């Protein structure tokens, strides 16, 4: 038999048992669709995490206070108040830290804002003018904080997009007054939308001069201590050098000789991204393994149906062998049928996976990336499954003796 005749016979055999063939393909279909969606979810999650971390700023380092121990009870990371305004000033030194381009100390607290009869609770961030550069933020209206605002403890604020919308609706907030706590502030600018970062909603906050936040809003230890210090390296190539400079300078300032006992931590974008990506890849592999089990079940289904087909067609096999068909031809016949079942299930599964990737994000608010490589690999895998699980039934058919096959009832 020619290859074309083999294909025609295979399609005829599959069409003669449509329901059985459809149920056989269902296992492969579900497995392929699950693999495509799983890989798409994993890649989409990695892209979202990367975008969120990159939204924090460019070439960014984040210095956070370490933990404290009180009465034998150790607080969580950041519970210490070890970082100070003096630390930020020292890090700004081009002599001690030449690879650090900008420094922005910050302190924040959740506070109620009031504009007329409208109120909104958000994060009030006290910082310096360098914060805009370090965090790579742009303005949609007005201006950002200035050095004059900082030195004069000016009661001015820059609102993020969501905060401005909640307080003023569609009206222009620049020049209007908003009460932060009980203190009136003048809105001088509105930040352009930046979305969610790895830590918070970057579009829901109010930025004020750090000196004003310490003297007029927060008081207490905030006059000298800060919650975090954002550092911007001069370039991506100097990020590691900037890390080393900041670490060594802070160790010296805090009189710490053992780096393991440091009362602060420094995190970089690369480390955050690497950790988040590693977690996403692990989850993708785990979910992909679960999806692969359904492919295994589908393959077993193919083998089962092909064994049934061999049993049903024993007399046909015997007749072909009696007319001169070689074991190779018989084996090829059943392998082609198994491959066609696998290919059909793979194509339908790929189509279902693509449809799911296009529709599910609207339901689960999560990005699903369609990977052409994963889709092509899934289809090839479905063919391989058909071949692999069709080998035993095909070999069994090829080994049948013509006389015994013809005598079979």
How many of the other CB atoms lie within 10 Å of CB of 113?
21
Cβ atoms of 280 and 46 within 8 Å: the answer is yes
Which of 88-97, 152-161, 199-208, 393-402 has the least mean pLDDT?
Answer: 393-402
Which pLDDT does position 26 carry in this prediction?
Answer: 85
Q: How many CA atoms lie within 13 A of 372 on its CB side?
A: 0
Which pLDDT does position 70 carry in this prediction?
Answer: 41
Q: What is the mean pLDDT of residues 156-169?
A: 94
Q: Please give the share of the chain, as a percent, with pLDDT higher than 70.
A: 87
Closest CA to 316 of 211, 221, 402: 402
109: confidence class by pLDDT, cuts 50, 70, 90? very high
Q: What is the mean pLDDT of residues 122-129?
A: 94
Which pLDDT does position 105 carry in this prediction?
Answer: 93
Is 8's pLDDT higher than 90?
A: no
Is 35's pLDDT higher than 80?
A: yes
For 222-231, write each residue's pLDDT tens digit. Answer: 677 899 999 9
Cβ atoms of 102 and 134 within 8 Å: the answer is yes
Q: Report residue 322 as tokens.
A: 């009696």
Which pLDDT does position 188 carry in this prediction?
Answer: 96
Is 159's pLDDT higher than 90?
A: yes
The pairing of beta strand 156-159 with beta strand 69-70:
unpaired
Contacts 24+ apart (CB under 8 A), 81-85: 81/221, 81/225, 82/225, 82/254, 82/263, 82/264, 83/225, 83/226, 83/227, 83/228, 83/229, 83/264, 84/224, 84/225, 84/226, 85/210, 85/224, 85/225, 85/226
Which pLDDT does position 394 carry in this prediction?
Answer: 78
What is the rounded CA–CA span in Å between residue 395 and residue 392? 5
How many of the other CB atoms lie within 10 Å of CB of 293?
11
Which pLDDT does position 151 carry in this prediction?
Answer: 92
For 229-246, write each residue's pLDDT tens digit. Answer: 999 888 878 888 888 999
pLDDT mean across residues, the chain: 82
Closest CA to 20 of 307, 351, 315, 317: 307
Q: Residue 72 carries which DSSP code?
A: T
Which pLDDT does position 1 carry in this prediction?
Answer: 59
212: confidence class by pLDDT, cuts 50, 70, 90? very high
What is the rounded CA–CA span in Å between residue 134 and residue 369? 30
For 55-70, write each residue's pLDDT tens digit. Answer: 666 688 889 987 544 4
Is 198's pLDDT higher than 50?
A: no
Which pLDDT does position 209 carry in this prediction?
Answer: 95
Q: Please give the share of the chain, as a percent, with pLDDT higher than 90.
A: 26
For 266-322, write each residue's pLDDT tens digit. Answer: 887 666 666 666 777 777 777 777 777 777 888 888 888 888 877 777 777 777 777
Is 138's pLDDT higher than 80?
A: yes
């Amino acid at each position: 038999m020619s290859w074309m005749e083999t294909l025609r016979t295979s399609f005829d055999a599959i069409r003669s048992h449509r329901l059985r063939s459809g149920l056989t393909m269902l296992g492969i279909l579900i497995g392929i669709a699950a693999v495509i969606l799983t890989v798409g979810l994993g890649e989409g999650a990695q892209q979202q995490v990367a975008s969120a971390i990159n939204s924090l700023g460019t070439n960014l380092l984040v210095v956070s206070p370490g933990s404290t121990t009180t009465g034998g009870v150790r607080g969580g990371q950041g519970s210490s108040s070890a970082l100070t305004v003096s630390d930020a000033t020292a890090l700004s030194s081009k002599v001690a830290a030449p690879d650090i381009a900008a420094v922005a100390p910050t302190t924040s607290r959740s506070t109620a804002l009031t504009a007329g009869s409208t109120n909104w609770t958000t994060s009030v961030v006290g910082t310096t003018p360098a914060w805009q550069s370090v965090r790579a933020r742009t303005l949609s209206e007005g201006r950002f904080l200035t050095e004059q605002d900082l030195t004069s403890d000016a009661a001015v604020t820059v609102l993020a997009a969501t905060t401005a919308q909640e307080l003023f609706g569609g009206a222009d907030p620049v020049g209007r007054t908003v009460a932060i706590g009980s203190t009136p502030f003048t809105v001088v600018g509105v930040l352009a939308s930046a979305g969610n970062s790895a830590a918070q909603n970057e579009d829901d906050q109010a930025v004020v001069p750090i000196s004003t936040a310490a003297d007029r809003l927060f008081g207490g230890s905030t006059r000298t201590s800060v919650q975090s210090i954002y550092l911007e390296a001069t370039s991506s190539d100097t990020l590691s050098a900037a890390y080393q400079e900041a670490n060594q300078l802070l160790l010296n300032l805090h009189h710490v000789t053992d780096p393991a006992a440091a009362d602060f931590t420094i995190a970089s974008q690369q480390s955050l991204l690497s950790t988040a990506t590693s977690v996403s890849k692990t989850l993708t592999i785990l979910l992909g393994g679960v999806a692969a089990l359904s492919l295994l079940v589908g393959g077993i289904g193919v083998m089962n149906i092909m064994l049934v087909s061999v049993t049903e067609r024993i007399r046909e096999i015997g007749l072909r062998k009696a007319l001169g068909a070689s074991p190779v031809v018989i084996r090829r016949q059943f392998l082609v049928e198994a491959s066609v079942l696998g290919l059909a299930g793979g194509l339908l599964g790929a189509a279902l996976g693509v449809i799911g990737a296009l529709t599910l994000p609207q339901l689960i608010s999560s990005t699903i990336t369609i990977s052409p490589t994963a889709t092509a690999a899934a289809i090839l895998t479905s063919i391989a499954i058909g071949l692999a699980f069709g080998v035993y039934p095909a070999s069994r058919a090829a080994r049948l003796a013509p006389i015994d096959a013809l005598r079979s009832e």
